[in-house]
Amino acid sequence: MNGQSTGAAAAAPGGRDERGTMSQTTLQAALARAEAEGRAALIGYLPAGFPDVPSSTRVVEAMVQGGCDVVEVGLPYSDPTMDGPTIQRAADTALVAGTVPSDVLRVVEAAAATGAAAVVMTYWNPVERYGPARFCADLAAAGGAGVITPDLIPEEAEEWFEATDAAGLDRVFLVAPSSGDERLRLTAQASRGFVYAASLMGVTGTRSQVSGTAEKLVARTRTAIGDSGLRVCVGLGISNRAQAAEVAAYADGVIAGAGFCQRMLDAPDVETGLGAVRSFAEELAQGVRDGRRGGG
Which of 17, 61, 69, 83 is catalytic? The answer is: 83
Q: Give Cα separations from 177 to 56, 110, 114, 122, 218 (angstroms).
A: 32, 34, 34, 21, 9
Tell me 25's DSSP state: P
Sequence-distant (≥ 6) Cβ neighbours of residue 102 within 8 angstroms = none
Which of 17, 61, 72, 252 is catalytic? The answer is: 72
Half-sphere exposure of 16 (CA within 13 A, CB side): 9
With contact defined as beta carbons under 8 Å apart, do 238 and 247 qualify? yes
Please tell me whether residue 271 adopts helix, strand or coil conformation: helix
Q: Give Cα separations from 200 to 216, 231, 233, 235, 259 (angstroms).
A: 11, 19, 13, 9, 17
83 has catalytic annotation: yes
- For residue 42, which of 20, 61, 68, 66 has the smallest C-alpha distance? 68
Helices 213-225 and 181-190: angle between axes, nearest 10 degrees = 60
35 has catalytic annotation: no
Tell me 254's DSSP state: E
Active site residues: 72, 83
